[in-house]
Amino acid sequence: MIIQVKINGIDKEWDVDPGMILLDLLRDKGYKSIKRGCDEGYCGACTILLDGQAAKSCVMLAGQAHKRSITTVEGLGTMDEPHLLQKTFVEHGAVQCGYCIPGMLLSSKALLDENPNPTEDDVKEAIDGNLCRCTGYVKQIEAVLDTASIMRGEN
């Protein structure tokens, strides 16, 4: 069937098998920033934004995305013009192997979009679905808080 999605601001019409897992579909379509870590909804490497909210694409069927908007890290920023979150993540040493990072960035973006003034607990809650085995999360939490304060014009 044909599904319509707006992905990273661009309208697409895809003829797909609606029972396909959304993660598989998006990677097939070239959105390789979305990673596969468990296929079971636990690790969060496949996190996307669906209508602005973080969601795990490995436990969604393609049909569920019909007429919805999707954001991936490809739509967040580029290497020439990175999103502030991407920049601060790197500056804070929050990126180690980087496999979980696209998902974590999107969860963080969803948070900052609705709460420009998050507490540390808010950040922890917002990225609790993104497992990372490299970092211990300390630097990522710092990076999100720092991004928020920069966005608020505080430093």
Partner 1 sequence: MNNLKEFYYPENIAEAQKLLRDESVKKAIIAGGTSVALLNTGSVEGMVDITRMGLNYIKQDGGFVKIGATAVVEELARSPITKNLANGILAKASSEIASRPLRNMITMGGNIVQLRIWSDLPVVLLALDGQIKVQGDEERTIPADDFFREQPLKTLAHFDIVKEVVLPKTPETSGAEFIKLSKTKGDYAIMSLACYLEFEEKTCTLARIALSSVTPLPRRCKKAEKVLEGKQLTPELIAEAAAVTREKTKTISNIWGSAEYKSVVLENLVKKSLLSCADKAGIQI
Partner 2 sequence: MAVKIKDELNVVGKSVLKVDGLSLACGKAKFVDDYELPECLVCKVMASPFAHARIKKIDKTRALQIPGVVEIITHEDIPRVPHTTAGQGYPEPSPYDTFTLDNKVRYVGDRVLAVAAETEEAALEALRVIEVEYEELEPVLSARDSMKEGAPVIHDEPEAHVIIPVPYEPERNLAAHVDFKIGDMEKGFAEADVVLEKEYETQYAQHCPMEPHIAATWLDENNRLVILTSTQVPFHVRRIVAERLQMPIGKVRVIKPRIGGGFGTKQEVLVEDVCAFLTLKTKRPVKYEMTRAEEFISSRTRHPQILNMKVGAKKDGTLTAISMKIIMNTGAYGSHALTVMCNSGSKILPMYNKVMNVDFCGDTVYTNMPVGGAYRGYGATQGAFAMEVIMDEIARELNMDPVEFRKINHIRSGEGSPVFAALGEGKAGVEQKIGSCGLDRCIERALEEFDWEGREERRKLAPPGKKRGFGMCILMQGSSIPEIDMGAASMKINEDGSFNLLVGATDLGTGSDTVLAQVAAEVLGISVDDFIVYSSDTDMTPFDVGAYASSTTYLSGYAVKNCAEKVKMQILKAAGDMLGVDPYDLTIENKKVTDMNGNSVTIAEVARRALYERDQHQIGAMASHITHKSPPPFAAHFVEVDVDENTGFAEVKKYVCTIDCGTAINPKLAEGQCEGAILNGISYALTEEYIFNKKGRMMNADFGSYKIFNTADLPEMKVILVPTYEETGPYGAKSVSEININGALPAISNAIFDAVGVRLRTAPFTGEKILMGMLGKNNGDPQVKPEEEAAAEEVPEENNAAEENNSNGNGVNNNNKNNGSENRKDKEGLSGEPASYGNYPAKKKKKR
Rounded CA-CA distance 146/71 in Å is: 22
7 vs 58 by CB, closer to partner 1: 58
| Cβ 14 vs Cβ 2: under 8 Å | yes
Nearest distance in Å: CB 133, partner 1: 14
113 vs 125 by CB, closer to partner 1: 125
**Count of residues binding partner 2 (CB under 8 A)?**
55
Q: Is 21 in the site for partner 2 (CB under 8 A)?
A: no
21 vs 150 by CB, closer to partner 1: 21
Q: Is 74 in the site for partner 2 (CB under 8 A)?
A: yes
Own/partner long-range contacts of 81-87 (Cβ < 8 Å, ≥24 apart): 83/109, 84/147, 84/150, 84/151, 85/109, 85/112, 85/143, 85/144, 85/147
Q: Which of residues 51-90 bind partner 1 (CB under 8 A)?
A: 53-56, 58-61, 63-64, 66-67
Nearest distance in Å: CB 4, partner 1: 11
Rounded CA-CA distance 44/55 in Å is: 8
DSSP string, 88-135: HHHHTT--SS-SSHHHHHHHHHHHHHH-SS--HHHHHHHTTT---SSS
Q: Is 51 in the site for partner 2 (CB under 8 A)?
A: no
Nearest distance in Å: CB 115, partner 2: 16
Among 1, 4, 12, 32, binds partner 2 (CB under 8 A): 32
Among 15, 79, 154, 155, binds partner 2 (CB under 8 A): 79
